[in-house]
Structure 1
Amino acid sequence: MTVKVAIAQMNSTVGDLAGNRAKIFDLSRRAFEAGADIVLTPELSLVGYPPEDLLLRNAFYAKTQEAFAGLAADLAQFKDLHVVVGLPLQDEKGVRHNAASVLLNGEVLGTYRKHDLPNTTVFDEKRYFMSSDQAFVFGVKGVRFGINICEDTWFEHAPMRARAAGAQVLLVPNGSPYHMNKQHLRYETMRKHVSAQGLALVYANLVGGQDELIFDGDSFVMDAAGTICAQLRHFEEDLQLVEFDGATPVPQALAAPLTTEAQVYQALVLGVRDYIGKNGFPGVLIGMSGGVDSALTLAIAVDALGADKVRAVMMPSQFTADISWIDSRDMVKRLDVRYDEIPIKQTFDAFRATLADEFAGLAEDATEENIQARIRGTLLMALSNKHGSIVLTTGNKSEMAVGYCTLYGDMAGG
C-alpha cells in the first residue's frame, strides 16, 4: 500500500499565530490536492521558533490553543488527511511541553511531547518545557508512523521508544539552525540514532531567519539503510510529496549540493531578508568605502530586499583615495541603488579642534583614523533614526576576531 507524505518546509514567524495558521492551512490544501495522506510541518510551526519568553505567558498558550482549534476546524474539509502541527502545550497544572499534534478530520488524533530538551549554545528549552517519556505512534494504510521532535533524534532513547511502540517510519519536526556543513552532521546523526533502529525517517526543518538564527530548510527523507531518498530546497520554503511503499520511501532524484560559499551567501541573504521583513523595517542603509566588505554587504542587501529598499552612503574625508570613489560609484551603478555622498572633512576638523588641547604634542595615530570611522557611524545612525531604515554593519568575522574594526564606528548598526 502506498502512503504519500508531504514535507511542508515553512518559514514561520514567532508570535504570528494568524499568519502561521494560514500558511499551514495553505500547505495542507496543496498537499491534499496532490494526494497526500500526511503533512509534516516543522517544530513549533504554529507559533514560530524559538518563541523564547513568550513561553512564560499563560495568555500565549491560550491564544495558541485558540489558533490551533481554528486550524483543526479549517482542516476538517480535507478528509482523512493527517496534519502534524508543532505547538507548545500547557496542562491544567501549568506543566509545559514542546509538542506535535496530529490533526485528522477536525479532531486531535494524538500528541507527542518532546523528550530531549536542548540547553546549550542557542537553545534554552529547559527554561520553558518539561520532558516526556511517552511515545506516540499512529497508523496510515497499514504503516505505523512515530513522532520525535528535533533533539530527540540526536540521542538513541527516543527513537528506540518509538520503535518499541511499533513505529516503522519516524516523522521528525525540526527547528535546526544552520551552520556551515550542518547537513552532513544531520545525516550522520540520523543514521546513528534512527536508521540504526531500523526506522525510515522524514525530517521536516524550518526555513527562514529569526533574529540571530537562520534555518536552512534542507528537509530530507532517509530510508532504514541510511540512504537519502529525497531532499528539499536549501534556504527556501518548499512542499514536496514523498511516496512510501509500505515503510520504504521511494527514491527521488537529488539536486547537487551547494558549495560552502553558496550556502553561506544564501544564508546571509535569507537572514537579512527576514530580519528586515519580520521586524518591519522599510529598508537598509550601508556605508560605502569602496572596499570588498561594503561591496559584498551591498550585494547581499540587494539580493535580499531589492534595490529599491537599499541606500548606500559614501562619506569621504580628505584622506579618501580616488580608487574608493571610483569603486563605490561603480558598485552602486551596477546594482542601481540610491547613492549619496556626505563629505565629513568639516566634521573631522571640528573633532580635531575640540581635542587639540588634549592631543597637544602627541603624534597622529590610529586615534584620528578611528574618529573618522566614528563620525561615519554617527551619521549613518542619524539617517537611520530619521528615516527608519536599519544600518547594516560591514565588518567581517575575521576583523571582529582580531579587533580590527572600530567600536562605535564600522561596528555601528543594527
Structure 2
Amino acid sequence: MRTPLVLAALLAPLPARADFAAVDTAVEAALARNDCPGAVVLVVHRDAVVHRKAYGRRAVRPAAEPMTADTVFDLASLTKPTATGTSIMRLIEQGKLKLDDPVAKHWPAFGKADVTVAHLLLHTSGLTADNALADYADGREKALERVAALKLEAPPGTRFRYSDVGFIVLGELVEKLGGMPVDQYAKTHVFDPLKMTDTGFRPAGDLVKRVAPTGLRDKLTIRGEVHDPRAFKMGGVAGHAGLFGSADDLGRYARMLLRGGELDGARVLKADTVKLFTAPHEVPAQPAKGKEDPPRQFRSYGWDVDTSFSGQRGDAFKRGEGYGHTGFTGTSLWVDPRSQTAVIILTSRVHPDDKGSVGRLRREVANAVAAAVVKN
C-alpha cells in the first residue's frame, strides 16, 4: 500500500507546461563541444513522462543517421542495478538468498569465505575493479573459473572500490539460484512484466537497426554487440555489462521504483524490497590527498547515492536521498524520490572513436530538470 505522501505526489497536478528549454540548451551545447554525437533525454515526474526528446545524431559513421527517441543504447554499467541488482533483490525477496550470505555458500569455488552478497552490492568486497582481459580469452567457463580464483586486494568491508568483477560474481549467483542465466532471469522477472520491449542482452533482428553504434573493435564500428570487452568475451551476457535498452523502457523501470515496485498492475518487487534496494549505506572512504578527514560516501545495494560517481545528480537534487547509476558508454539514470522525479540521459559518447565526455552534460541536464519540476 502506498503511503499518503506517495499518493499525494501521484495525485498532485503536473507542472503547468514545465519549461525544459534549459535541457535543450545543455544538450545542444554538448553536441557543439563534440562531447557526444546525440542524446535522448526523458524525464519522469509524478508518475508521468513530462519530457522526451531526441537530439543530434544516432550515428556519424559509416553513414549519418538522425537520433530518434526510440533509439536503443548499449547501457553499459546500468546493467548492474537494472538487470543484476533487481534480479538479486527478487531472489532475496523469495528467500533464496540473503544479504549476509557468504558468496562461497552458493558458489564453493569462489572461496573467500568472508565476502558476502552485501559486500558485492556495495562494492566493498575487496575484489579488484577489473581483472586482466587475458583472463577472458578462453571463453565464459574459464573466465568464471579465473574470477573465482582471484585474490582479494583488501579485507572485505574495509574499502569502497567500484568493481565490475563483483557484479560478474553477482550475475553468476543469479544463474545458480534463479535457475537461468542473468539475461533470461531479468527478462522473465523484470523486463517482460514491465513491458520493457526494447530492453535485453544481445539485441537481434530489426532491433539492431535502432541500436546506437558505440566505439571500435578491430578497427570496425561496434553496433548491436556489447562495447565492454569482458562482457563481449563472455558472449555478451554478464552481471556488470551487456544490457541494451531505450529511454522509454528505462522510464517504465524508474516509474516502477517510484511506485514502490509496481507498474500497470505488474509487481516486480515488494515496496519493502525497493526500500532495501535503494536505501543509503555508508561505505569506507579514503582520505583525499592532503586532507585528514575523507568525505563520507554512500551507496545502496546496487545504486550510487553519494560518492564521486554521483555527478549525474547535479547540484539541486538533495544529496543522500536519491540514487542512480551511470554507464561507460554515456548513459545515466537518476531517481529523486522526494520530488518523484527520474532523469534519464542516454548517449553513445564513445561513438565513433571511443572518445567523448558527458559528465558536464549530466550535471547541467539534472540542474535544468530540477529547476523545472522540483519547485512545483
Name the TM-score, length of structure 2 as normaliser: 0.25
Which has the higher relative contact order, 1 or 2, with Cα contacts under 8 A spaced 6 or more apart?
2
Name the TM-score, length of structure 1 as normaliser: 0.23
